Amino acid sequence: DKFVLHLKECEFRWNNKDNDLYKIMLTLVRKFSAKII
């Protein structure tokens, strides 16, 4: 269901609207990509 994913993305963007999303996403990718591999 893509609607739930879209809703969570909107929530994330709203909660971080004053922050640099690139830095936040980079941190999350580094943190969680190590667990996948």
| pTM score | 0.64
Has residue 37 got a pLDDT over 60? Answer: no
CA angle 27, 28, 30 (to 5 degrees): 65
How many domains does the chain contain in total? Answer: 1
pLDDT at 12: 94
Confidence class for position 5, pLDDT limits 50, 70, 90: very high
What are the φ and ψ backbone dihedral angles of 16, each rounded to 5 degrees? -120, 30
Q: How far apart are CA 6 and CA 8, in angstroms?
A: 5
Sign of the four-CA dihedral 8, 6, 33, 25: negative
Expressed as residue numbers, the domain containing 11 is 2-36
Q: How far is CA 21 from CA 11, 18, 31, in A?
A: 13, 9, 15
Express each pLDDT in 7-35 by its tens digit. 999 999 999 999 999 999 999 899 888 76
Confidence class for position 1, pLDDT limits 50, 70, 90: confident
